[in-house]
Structure 1
Amino acid sequence: MKSTFKQIASKKSPQRISIALAILFAVAVTFWSTPTTYDVNAETETLRIRTDIAPIIWGLSEVIMYRDYNPQSEAFTGSFSPSSGTDVEVERITSGPLRLRCKNSNGSVGELRNQDGQQKLGGRVTFVIPNVDKRAKSGGTLLFPVSGDIELGQDLTYDASTTVAILQSGTVRVLGRSLLEPTLFEAGTYPLELGDDFRLEAALSPSVGVLVAGDHPGFRVAIRGTSKSATVTRFGSSGYVIRTSLFERLKNDAGLQILWVAALTFVGFARSFWKEKS
C-alpha cells in the first residue's frame, strides 16, 4: 500500500511541477514592470528642461539678451542652439514676455548664430521675448522644439509670491507597451490641475515635444516621454504616481492575453496527458 502511494505521488510530481512552472512564468511576466509612454498636453506658465545631445535650434527675432550675470541687455536676432546638459527654464506669467533662462555649470550654454556668424556663449544666458500677443496677431506665433529631461509646473509652497509661474491645466495620456510586439495600447488618461507639478521618474530616453506661445496666457506644450512611472505633485498633498496598471495590461495587452491563454491551455493539456498515463 505504501509503495503504491509513492508510485502515484512520483507520477504526479512532473505534472505538478510543469503546471506550477507554467503558472509562475505567466504571473512573473504579468507583474514585470514594462516601460510606459506618456503623452502630455498642457497649458502652463513654466517648463524646465535639461537638454540632451539632440540638435535643437531655436529661432529668435528681436529679443532682449542678457549674457552671464551682466545686467546690460543687448538686442539679438538670429538663432540659439543649446548645448547638451544645459538647464533651461521657460517662463511666461499670464500674458507677459516669454523668458528663456539657460545655464550650464559644466561649460557653454550653447551657440548663437546670425548674419555676423556664430558665437559660443558662456555658462549663462537669458532671452526675453516681448510683445508675444502682438507677434501672434501678426502671424508670428513662437514655436520651440524641446528634447531632454522635462518637468512641467513646479512644486508650490505656502509662501509663494504673487508672481510665481504655475501649470494651469492639462492631460496625461498613458500608453502601455505590448508584451509580444512594439505596439502601444491605451492605459488611461489623467488630468493635470492648477498648480500641479509633473515629471517622469528615471526616464528611459529623452522626452521630446514642442511649446507654442501666442495670444493665449502662458504657453502650450505637447510632450512625449517614456519611463516606468511618472509623478504628479499636488499642492497640499503627497500627489500620486501614474503608471500602466495591472488591470489595464490584462484588459488591453493582446500579447499578455495570448500568454495567459497559452499557459492555461498548457495546464489543461498537462492534466489530461498525465491523467491518461495514470
Structure 2
Amino acid sequence: MLSTFHKSKKENIVSDYQEEKGKGISGIVNGFEIRLGSPAFIGLSVDSSNASIIAVSINQEIIGRFLIRTKYRSGLNSMIDRLSKLFDLAVLSGDNEAEQENLNKIFPQGTKISFNQTPENKLHAIEDFEKKQKTMMIGDGLNDAGALKRSFVGLSVAENMSNFTPASDVIMLGDKLTELPKFLQLVQSSKRIVLAGFVVSFIYNIVGLALAVAGFITPVIAAILMPISSITVVALSTLGVKFISHRLNLKA
C-alpha cells in the first residue's frame, strides 16, 4: 500500500480535505484516503496512557504512529512554586491523561488539571474564570488563540519570534518562560514607578503654578520649565525600570 502510494504520481492532487478539531485531519490524495490524528480518529485501539499518540492510515489501513512524550523545561518546578504563592493555577491541556502523574508532582495539591481540551473547551473555561476574577492565560499554540484573546492578559510562548504566534498581549520566548515571576514583579514595580512619576509631575506643577501666581517665575522661564518637567518624569521612569530590571537580573 505505502509503496503504491509513493509511486502513484509526482504531483499530489488533494481533495475532500476535512479537519475535525481536537481529533485530526483527512483527505483524498491522488485517490488515496489519508487520515492523520488521534488513535480514536484513525480507528486504532491502543493504550495511550504513557504518551500522546498520532496515527496515520491510508485507505483505512493503519501504516504507522508517532509517540510523543513531554519534556519539561529546567526550572519549571521553581517557577510553578513561586506562582502558586501569588495566584490560583489551573491547567488546560489538549493532550490525554498520560501526563497526569507528572503534572501532579509539579503543581500544588488541589490544582484543577483538565485533559483532552479542545480550543472551544479552553475558551469556555477562560470565560468561566473571567466571571470570577481577572485571568492570565499562557499558551503556545494556535489551539490557545481564542483563550488567549478572551483572557484579561494573554501570554503567548514562542520558540522563535519570527514564527507565527497567536494574537496576545505579551509574547515571551520559551527559554525565558521560567523567569515569568520576575517579569510579573517587574510589572508591579513599573506600575509603582509610573504612579510616582505622576505624583512628582503633579507636585512640580502645583509648586510651579504657585510661584508663577506669586510673580516669582516669568512666562519665559515657565515655558522652559514645563518641557523640562515632562523630560524629567520620563527619564526617571525609564531609569527606574532599567534599575529594577538589572536588580532582578532580567535581560531583553
TM-score by length of 1: 0.25
Bigger strand fraction: 1
Q: Which one scores higher on RCO, CA 8 angstroms, separation ≥ 6?
A: 1
Bigger helix fraction: 2
